């Protein structure tokens, strides 16, 4: 079974629109960590955020914000006022304290921001 | 720049051949992870080493092997190559052995093309 599900395969938005990328995870551990990574067309994977399971506070970093809800096992990512440079594939990932070492990645959401 | 160095960046070879991909982790990081990213498979975890020892194994084929050396750099060996092995191979490093110690930092990847 998929531990991380990113149901949105591709999303297109027009520049300056807000967009939310969904991430649903599955775990039985009480201690776990969630991540978002960005993969621009150049190919490298860029770390965006790490969140542990005990911290449900939402986080905002500039135009980026993350909504962590344990009740729905979701860790959604919103980009406000999207820009062309936001075009990339975004991956959500989970790591469980129990297994300790594996990072489970979702299949990614390809975001295209149209100028 | 994540601080993780991978060589070569691009590699073209023929079926049946053997190649070695090299990774130097960020200074101070003890863990090295290898991932394979192909178009139809997403990011697949292959193997993790921590301070020279194998820590976790994912979907790594028997034709593939890896090791981490005393200086902490790692090599991924791919042998008897098949067309389906064409992919982007990522190395990532982290400070400790699991997500509780921090996030993964990825190299730029090695793009392998098997003809």
pLDDT for B18: 98
- Using a pLDDT cut of 70, give the percent of chain B over it: 94
Q: Which residue has the higher pLDDT, B29 or B99?
A: B29
> What is the phi-psi region of residue B71: left when phi exceeds 0, alpha when psi lies from -120 to 50, beta otherwise?
alpha
SS3 B13: strand
Q: Do B50 and A32 touch (CB under 8 A)?
A: no
Task: Kindly indicate the confidence band of residue B102, based on its pLDDT and cuts at 50, 70 and 90.
Answer: confident
Q: Which of A44-48, A59-63, B63-67 shows the highest mean pLDDT?
A: B63-67
Q: Which of A29, A49, A53, A101 to mutate: most B Cβ within 10 Å? A: A101
What CA–CA distances, in Å, run from A6 to A16, A21, B66, B111? 23, 8, 30, 25
Which residues in A31-69 are b (16+ Cβ under 10 Å) and which e?
ebbbbbbbbeeeebbebbbbbebeeeeeeeeeebbbbbe
- Asked whether the predicted pLDDT for residue B101 surpasses 70, the reply is no
Judge contact between B5 and B24, C-beta under 8 A. yes
Chain B residues inside the 8 Å CB shell of A105: 35, 42-43, 45
Task: Kindly indicate the confidence band of residue B9, based on its pLDDT and cuts at 50, 70 and 90.
Answer: very high
Query: Does A50 lie at the interface with B, CB-CB under 8 angstroms?
Result: yes
Q: Do A33 and B97 touch (CB under 8 A)?
A: no
Q: What is the average per-residue pLDDT within B102-109? A: 89
Dig out the tokens for B88 from the structure.
């982007």
Q: Do B99 and A103 touch (CB under 8 A)?
A: yes
- The dihedrals phi and psi of A30, each to the nearest 5 degrees, come to -90, -20
Query: Does B92 lie at the interface with A, CB-CB under 8 angstroms?
Result: yes
Work out whether the CA dihedral B13, B15, B18, B19 comes out positive or negative. Answer: positive
pLDDT digits (tens, 9 = 90+) for A93-106: 998 877 666 788 99
Q: What is the average per-residue pLDDT within B94-113? A: 82
Q: What is the CA radius of gyration of chain A?
A: 14
Dig out the tokens for B56 from the structure.
């976790």
Whole-angstrom distance, CA of residue A96 vs CA of residue A29: 6
Query: Does A115 lie at the interface with B, CB-CB under 8 angstroms?
Result: no
Q: Do B42 and A50 touch (CB under 8 A)?
A: no
Place of tokens 């962590």: A68
pLDDT for B99: 55
| Beta bridge partners of residue B10, listed in sequence order | B111
């Amino acid at each position: 079974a998929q531990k991380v599900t990113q149901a949105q395969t591709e999303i297109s938005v027009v520049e300056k629109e807000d967009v939310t990328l969904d991430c649903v995870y599955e775990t039985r551990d009480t201690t776990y960590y969630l991540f978002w990574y960005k993969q621009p067309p150049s190919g490298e994977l860029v770390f965006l955020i790490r969140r542990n399971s005990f911290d449900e506070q939402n986080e905002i970093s500039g135009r980026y914000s993350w909504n962590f809800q344990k009740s729905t096992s979701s860790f959604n990512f919103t980009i406000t006022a999207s820009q062309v440079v936001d075009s990339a594939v975004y991956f959500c990932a989970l790591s469980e304290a129990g297994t300790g070492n594996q990072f489970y990645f979702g299949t990614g959401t390809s975001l295209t921001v149209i100028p | 720049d994540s601080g993780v160095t991978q060589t070569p960046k691009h590699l073209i070879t023929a079926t049946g051949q053997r190649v070695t991909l090299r990774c130097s982790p960020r200074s101070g990081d003890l863990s090295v992870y290898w991932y394979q990213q192909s178009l139809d498979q997403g990011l697949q975890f292959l193997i993790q080493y921590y301070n020279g020892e194998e820590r976790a194994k994912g979907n790594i084929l028997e034709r593939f092997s890896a090791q981490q050396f005393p200086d902490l750099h790692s090599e991924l060996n791919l042998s008897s190559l098949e067309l389906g092995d064409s992919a982007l191979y990522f190395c990532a490093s982290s400070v400790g052995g699991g997500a509780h110690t921090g996030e993964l930092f990825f190299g730029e990847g090695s793009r392998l093309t098997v003809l």
